[in-house]
Every structure is written in structure tokens, then in C-alpha cells.
Amino acid sequence: MKIKAIIFIVCCAFISCNSSKNPAEEAAKMQVLDQLMAQNDFQIESNWAHPLVSNSITSIANSRLLPPGSTAGAIDIFGNPNYLRVMGDSISMYLPYYGERQLAATYNNTIIAIKYDGKPDNIKIEKNEKKQTYELQFIAKGDRETYRVFIKLTPNLTSMISVNSSHRTPISYKGNISKIPKNDQPITVQ
């Protein structure tokens, strides 16, 4: 009987320690995110890409062509150039792409990444008060391809970006949000 009581007390202690959140710390984190959203001037740098797992992605993973620690469903892109920048009503994004093309690209199209610079269509920014998150969505129309982008931002300054393309299989990215550094130039790929 004593053992059951001790196990019960230990379990209660673990549960109470795990579920306690510092309200002041949570409010401070949310305030930082609120400021970034109010200024409408921030960037997201992703650390992980999550492609739609298909036979071809699995084959690449099995061939050990992915970075160390990566799997077919989670590819480590830390250190690879990537960004999604919101600057007022303009978006600039350069995200590495892992997946399958649904429509053939032209021979002179050497950029494999998801790339867009401009003012997107149907941009929506909503704050979810209950979950304490921001949700952004927009449609980015390029020369040959259209992207439907969904972004979820959390108070701990992490993000989840989901990209659905008119020419490729879906992919998502996990990363971190920050203010755009001054004198930071977009990455140019030739």
C-alpha cells in the first residue's frame, strides 16, 4: 500500500511540475510576437523541411543522400540558405524544395527552390486568441507556378510553413521567427 501511495505522489509531482507555466513569461513571449506582427516586418528561417513522403523521397533517403539525421519525412536544412520575409504588404521567400514535380519544368528553369518576391494575393493575417498564435495565408503567383502558403506563428517564436504548389507535391517547414536585420539583402541564386 505504501508503494502505491509513493508512486501516486511522485506521479502527481511530475504532472504538476510539467503543467505549470509561468504566466508572466508566456505574456512576455506573446508581446514580442505581437510587436513583430504589428510592425509587419519579420523573417522566418527554417531548420527542417517536411516533404510529402513518396516512393522517390524514400528511395533518396534509403540511398543516404539526405543530410545526417534526416529521414524521408524530416530533412535537416539548418545552414542551408532559406527565408520567408514579410515586409509590409510584400513577401520574399526562398525555400529549398524536396519532393516531386507534377508538371514538367522548362529546360532553362534551374531554380529548384520555391522562390517568390512581390505582393501576394488574398493575404490574411489572423490572431487566434484561444491558442495564442497567429495564422497567415496568401497566394503567391509566379511566372509559371502558383503557391498557396499557410503560416502558423507561436509565442515561442517558432513557425510552421505549409506550401501547396500548382506544379509540385506539398511541403512544410519548421523554423524560427526574428526581426529582419538591417542591411540584410535577399539571397540571390543564379
Task: Give SS3 for 2.
Answer: helix
DSSP string covering 4-73, please? HHHHHHHHHHHHHHHH---HHHHHHHHHHHHHHHHHTEEEEEEEEEEEPP-HHHHHHHHTT-SPTT--SS
What domains are defined for the chain?
23-179 (2.40.128.410)
SS3 1: coil
pLDDT tens, position by position, for the chain (190 residues)? 566 555 656 555 555 555 446 778 888 888 889 998 999 899 999 999 999 998 888 888 888 888 888 898 899 998 889 999 999 889 999 999 988 887 665 555 556 889 999 999 999 999 998 888 999 999 999 888 899 999 999 999 999 999 999 989 999 999 999 998 877 555 544 4
Check residue 157 and give its pLDDT.
Answer: 93
Q: Which helix (H) or strand (E) holds 3?
A: helix 2-19
> What is the model's pLDDT at position 4?
59
Nearest Cα residue to 74 out of 108, 48, 111: 48
Please report which residue ranges of 45-150 form alpha helices under DSSP H.
55-62
